[in-house]
Chains A and B, each alone.
Chain A
Amino acid sequence: MNVTTRPLIPWIAIAALATGGCERAEPTRVQSDQPVHGGTLVYATDREPTCLDPHVAGDMPQVFLAQQYLDSLVSMDADGHIGPWLATRWDVSADGLHYTFHLRHDVRFTDGTPFNAAALKANLDHITDPKTQSSTAGGYIRQYRGTQVLDEYTAVVELATPYAAFLEVLAQGFLGMQSPTALARSREANCESPVGSGPFKVVRWERQSRVLLARNPDYDWAPPTARHQGPAYLDGITWTFMQEPSVRFASLQAGEVDVIEALPPESHEAARRNPDVELIIAQRPGNPTNGTFNIRRAPFDDVRVREAFVRSADVEGALKSVYFGEFPRAGGPLSAATPFYSPDFEHVQDYDPARAAQLLDQAGWTGRDAQGYRTKHGKRLQVTVLIGTRTPPSEQTLWEQVQATTRQVGFDLVLEQMSDTQTTARQAAWDYDIRLGYWNTNTPDVLRIIFGSAFIQPAGVGGYHQNTAGYSDAGFDALMDSALATQDPQQRRARYLRAQQQAAAQYLQLVTYPQSTRLGVYRTAHGVRLESSLAVTSLYDAWVTP
C-alpha cells in the first residue's frame, strides 16, 4: 500500500507536552521476564481503519488490527523465509501454476467454524471477488484462477501465470484467513465484526474511539515466529485512536496508554531519554518513500536529467533537519527489509552537485535565465511535484528542502498543492513530473508493479496507473517474470539483483527514506514485537504489569 498518513495539525506546542507527565514516575523498571497472565493492554494509534476486514480496501491501519485476530496461511520470519502456519506444508507444481496446501487439522475460527480446504477456498474467492472491493489483497493475487478442494484438509490453488511471490504475499495480514460463515454475511457486517482464528477476537468496535479485543481461549496454533504457544497472555486489548501525535506521546509518557504506534520523529529523543519508555523501530519492506519521475515527457525523459536531479538533491541534509536525523536515507529501489534486497545501490543517489551540473551540461541544459535557472532552447528547466491533501506536512517540508538544493544547480522545482482527487486526476492524465509515494509489501515483486510495462495501462476505467514512472522495457519485464517463474532462492536472488540494478541505473525515483513502524512502549508492557511480513505489531506474546 502506498497510502500516506497525515496528522491533522502540525502542532508547535509539542515541547510543552513532552515535559508534562514525568513528575510522578519513579524510573524503576520491573525486570519481569516471566510473562504474567491477565490484564488489558491499551494500544494507541493514529489512524482508524474504515473496515476491520483487511480483505476490503486494504490500508495499513487495517492490517495492524487484523494481525491480532487473523492468522495467515503461511508465516514469514525475520530473514524473509516462508514457514508454516495454518498450512503445515505445500508443494508447487513444476510449471509454478499449482500450489497444493496441506492444512492443519485442529484450527477453529472463534465462531466455531472449522478451518479447512473449503475455508481456504472461500477466503481466496472472497479476496478476488470484485464485490469485496479489495485493493491491496486482491491486487496481490490477480493471478488467482481458483481453488480445488482435494479433501478436507488439502486444497490446490491454481494460478494463471507463475507467481513465486505468492507465498510471500500470503504471509501478509491483508490476506489473513477468516471464517467462511462470517464471510457469507454482508460486507458491512463483516467490516464491523470479522471472525478469524487468531489469538484475539473482536468484541466491539466503538467508532472513532476504540476497538475492544478479547483473548481467544482456544488458541493453539501460533506460527513458528511466535515466542510461545497456546492462548495469549493478555485478557484483552483496548485499541484506541488518538490522531494527534503529541497527545499520543504525552499519553504514553503519562502511562495512560501502554503502547503507541507512529511515534513522531520529534519525540524519539525524548522517548530515548525517558527510562519508562522503550522504542521499537523497524523498517517496512517494499519500495521506500520516494518521488517518482514521469519519464514520458520532458525533461525527465532524459536519464541524465533524472540523475542530475537526484544528484543535486541533498536528501541527507533534508532528512536531518526535517526528521531530526531519525529517518535513515534509502538509496536503492527496495527498502533494506525486503527479501532479496541488495545493499549495492545505497549510494547511487548520493548528493553530488558537481556531477549534476556536468550531466545537465551534457544534456544540453546549458543556458541560464534571469533567475538563474537552467534553460535549453529558451525553455526553463522546470519540474512539478504534486502535493495532495494527504501528504504529511513533514513530507512537504522535505520537498521544500529538495527544492532549495536542486535550485543551486539550476532546477526550478514547483510544489503544486491540490486535493487528493485532483492528484489522482493529474496522475491519470500523466500530467506531473514527480509523484510522491511508497509501497509497503514483503516481496521484491513490487518492482514489477511500479516499473512493469503492464502497469502503465490504467488499472481500469478509473484511469489510474501504478507504474507512475511510465517505464517500459521489455528486458525488465522479462526479468521480473523470470524471477516469478522460479522457486529457487538463489535464482530469485540473482534475478532480483539484476532488477534492482536496472531500476537504480535508470534513476526512476528520488528515493528518500524507508517506511517504518515506530512503537513507543511504556514500562507496563512487555513482549511487544513486530512481525516480519510488514513490520506490523503483534501483541500475542505481550503481557502487562502494573
Chain B
Amino acid sequence: MTAFNTTSDTRALRRERLAALGRRAGIRLLGGLLVLWAVATLTFFALRLMPGDPVLAILGGASGNPTPETLEATRQEYGLDKPLAVQYVAYLGRLLQGDLGASYTQHMPVTRVLAEQGGATFELTIASLLLAWVLVLLLTVLTAGRGRLVGGLASLAETVSAALPHFWLGIVLLAVFAFGLRWFPPAGSDSLAALVLPAFSLAIPLAGFIAQVTRESLELTLEQPFVLTARTRGLSDLAVRFRHALRHALLPGISLSGWAIGALMSGAVVCEVIFSRRGIGRQLYQAVIAQDMPLVIGISLVVAAVYVLANIGVDLLYLWIDPRQQEQPR
C-alpha cells in the first residue's frame, strides 16, 4: 500500500463522514421544525380553548370596564370574530412569513418585544451556563478521586446546590452581596455587574446537577488503564486530569447542558423577577397571565428554537469531543 492510496482513502473517509454529519444535522433540523410547528399549534389551541373571552383578555381581563362598542371593535381588529380553524390557518400562514403578529398587551409587534427582551435573557442564559461549567470543572477535576472525605464533602456540596431553589438563592445573594456588602447592584440589566448575581443564582443549582454526573464519570475514568499509562509517562496529576481524563468524563455533562438551556430559560422567569431584569422569561409570565396569545406563542417559539438548536449544537459538540461517535452511523 502506497502513501498516495492512504491519502485518498482518508479523503474518501472524511467526505463520507461529512456527508453522514450533514445527513444527521439535516434530520435533526427537520425534526426541529416539526417541534416548532407542534409548539405553535399546541400553544395556539391551549390558549384559545382556555375558558374566557380573549377580547376581555385583550382589554385587561375581568378588571376592565369596556363599552360594547370597544369590545366589538377589538374583536374585529384581531379577527376574533372568525371561526377558530380560519384563525389557525391564517395564523400559520403569517408565521411562515415570519410575522408573529402584534402583542395585545404590549401594543407592539411581537418581533420587537423579542428583539428588545431576548438579548438580556440570552446574555443571562449563556453567562449562567459558562459560569456553571467553570464551577463544575473547579469542583470535580480538583476533588474527584481524592479520598472519601474530600470527595464526600464535594459531593454533598453538589447535592445541596442542585437542590437550591433559584428564588431562595436569588434572595440570599441579594441580601448578602447587594444590600449587605453592596458589591453588586440589586436590580437592572444594563451593566456587567448587574449580571453577576442573577447568573450565580442560576448557575449554582445547575452546576450542582452537572457536577454530580461529571464527578461520577470522572471517577470511573480515573480508574481506566489509560490513565495509569499516562501517569507512568510522568505526567503531573493535574495534567492527567485536565488533558486525558476530563475529555472522557465530559460527555454526560455536555448532553445535560442541552437540557440545561431549557431549564435555564425557565429559571430565568423567577430570576428576572427577583433581580428586576428585563428578559423574555419575565415577559412570558406576564403574557400567560394576561392571555396575550401572540406574545406567548412568540416567546414559546423562540425558547423552543433555542432548545432545538442547543441540542443540535450539543450533538455536534459530542462528535468533536469524542470522534468515536462519528463511526457509529456506519
Contacts and interface: CB of A to CB of B under 8 A. Distances in A.
Chains A and B are bound partners: yes
Interface of A: 1-4, 8-9, 11, 13, 16-17, 20-21, 23-24, 44, 50-51, 56-59, 130-136, 138-140, 142, 187-188, 191-192, 206-209, 240-244, 246-247, 250-251, 253-254, 256, 388-390, 419-425, 427, 449, 459-464, 466
B171 A13 contact: yes
B59 A57 contact: yes
Nearest to A438: B63
B72 A461 contact: yes
Contacts of B214: none
B118 to A, nearest CB: 12
Contact of A390 (B50, B61, B64, B167): B61
Q: Give me the 4 closest cross-chain CB pairs, A-B, nearest first.
A: A421-B52, A460-B68, A20-B179, A139-B65
Interface string B43-86: 00000001111011111111111111111111101000000000
B66 A133 contact: yes
A460 B276 contact: no
B279 to A, nearest CB: 7
Contacts of B175: 13, 16-17, 20, 250
Interface stretch (B105-113, B250-258, B303-311, B316-324): B105-113
A133 B66 CA distance: 7
Nearest to A135: B64
A135 B70 contact: yes
B67 A256 contact: no
B62, B282, B289: most-surrounded residue (chain A CB, <10 A): B62
Contact of A207 (B64, B68, B117, B172): B117
Nearest to A1: B63
Nearest to A47: B286
Interface stretch (B16-24, B185-193, B215-223): B185-193
B75 A17 contact: no
A135 B60 contact: yes
Does more than half of chain B's interface fall in helix, strand or loop, or is it mixed?
helix
A247 to B, nearest CB: 6
B125 interface: no
Nearest to B103: A50
B179 A253 contact: yes
8 contacts: A16-B171, A58-B64, A244-B273, A250-B186, A254-B186, A388-B62, A459-B65, A466-B65
A460 B72 contact: yes
A1 to B, nearest CB: 6
Given A130-B73, A461-B68, A240 B187 contact: yes
Contacts of A17: 171, 174-175, 179
A138 B59 CA distance: 12
Given A133-B70, A242-B276, A419-B52, 20 more contacts: A11-B167, A16-B171, A57-B60, A130-B67, A134-B66, A135-B70, A138-B67, A188-B102, A191-B108, A192-B107, A192-B108, A207-B113, A208-B272, A208-B277, A243-B276, A246-B171, A250-B174, A421-B50, A421-B52, A462-B66
Interface centre among B64, B105, B291 (most CB of A within 10 A): B64
A23 B116 CA distance: 38
A459 B66 contact: yes
B69 A130 contact: yes
Contact of A240 (B61, B276, B279): B276
Contact of B291 (A4, A253, A421): A421
Nearest to B69: A130
B273 A13 contact: no
